[in-house]
Homo-oligomer: A and B are copies of this chain.
Amino acid sequence: MAFEQPPAPFPPEVRSEFGLDRGMVFLNHGSFGSVPRSVRAAQDGWRDRLESDPIELIGRRIGELLAEVKRDLATMFGGAAESYGFVTNATEGVNAVLRSLPLAQGDELVCTSHVYFAVKQAMRSRCLESGAVLREVSVPLPVRGARDLIDPVMAAIGPNTRLVLLDHVSSATATRFPVEDLRARLPAHCLLLVDGAHAPGAMDLRIDAIDAEFYTANLHKWVMAPRGSAFLRVRGDWMPRVHPCVISHFFGDGYEKEFDWQGTRDFSAWLAVPAALKFLRELGLQRVIEHNHWLASWAHRQLVEGLGIEPATPLDGSCLTCMASIRLPETLRRFGRVEHLQADLRARERIEVPVMEWDGGWWLRISAAVHNLPEHYEVLLRALQARVAG
């Protein structure tokens, strides 16, 4: 696809499913998602049921209720239903894996320079307590293709590398990493933890085919489930050795029971996940993925050409999903801090879009969701052009 034309938008009745302030140009679905009204209604329904009969549903039936949700997840993303454990967010999934891993002085944990900062902090913390070493591998942009993203990682792996953590889609740089290729090339002594925070609903995802020991992901971004719904999927051989961050009643009783019960919580977010999967299926998962990818790739091209900058990833969209990041022209650094530019775009143009520092530059990330329209990115381009011109 050339991405010279924007894709046809979803109809207004789909876009009006979202409670976003209509006065805003909302280009940051990627941070905290946006929940369709039908999904929220399903969650409300669960809250009514839980409220009406809490002991029966939370105390006695929660395992079977969550098992149903996990079957739905496994149908969509592959693997055994019982290998899915619910967490609040992908950062929690990463923490659970890191804590469950026996680490000793001299062990190495590897990540790339694209790693999500919260995850890097969790790795740092785990290294501080265990004596392991965190090795952050520089993967500079621009890249010509997926292979450029993996070669530096492979070059950094040594005999002491215990675990490689790879972002499936990176946060600041919105780049899709070829995790399957890394898995195929990884030596047997290296465990693979994929941070798929931005992956489900954003690509054709079959987690079992990736064959990582650990895969964690958010459902509140591109699956559009309620915030606080995320999962950790652990490969069968590792399931008995992985525990949730909160040790509770069922410690030692196995992965399923331990993750199902991490203390009292509002289970309605997890229970509403099937409603989000249904929303996606009714729109057509493939259609959503293609629309968002096409829109992100088209907008990426518009911004790159309109600003006359070098793209960080190929213009054919091969390293993108439904987000794209551009390195902003240096002149915009006169705003002093990324937050100031971001605040200016919000205050004066009603555009909500993240601007982040990465690898010495300022990066702007766009998201393309089913509620976005081509003109949203045209508004952004004009706003950036005006600011570049001064």
Contact = CB atoms under 8 A, between A and B. Distances in A.
Interface of A: 18-21, 24, 28, 31-35, 40, 44, 47-48, 50-56, 58-59, 88-92, 95, 117-118, 121-122, 124-126, 218, 220, 226-228, 243, 245-252, 262-267, 269, 346, 352, 354
Contacts of A53: 20-21, 24
A90 B248 CA distance: 11
A263 B19 contact: no
B227 A92 contact: no
A19 B40 contact: no
Contacts of A19: 48, 51-52
24 contacts: A20-B54, A21-B52, A21-B53, A31-B54, A32-B55, A32-B58, A33-B54, A34-B51, A35-B51, A40-B47, A40-B51, A55-B354, A56-B346, A56-B352, A90-B263, A91-B263, A92-B245, A92-B263, A95-B247, A118-B263, A121-B248, A227-B264, A227-B265, A245-B246
A189 to B, nearest CB: 23
A55 B352 contact: yes
Given A89-B265, A117-B249, A118-B263, A31 B47 contact: no
Contacts of A247: 91, 95, 118, 121-122, 125-126
Given A89-B263, A117-B249, A118-B248, 18 more contacts: A19-B48, A20-B51, A20-B52, A24-B53, A28-B55, A31-B54, A31-B58, A32-B54, A34-B54, A40-B51, A91-B247, A92-B263, A95-B247, A121-B247, A124-B251, A125-B247, A218-B264, A227-B267
Q: Which of A31, A125, A227, A352 has the most CB of B within 10 A?
A: A227
Contacts of A117: 249
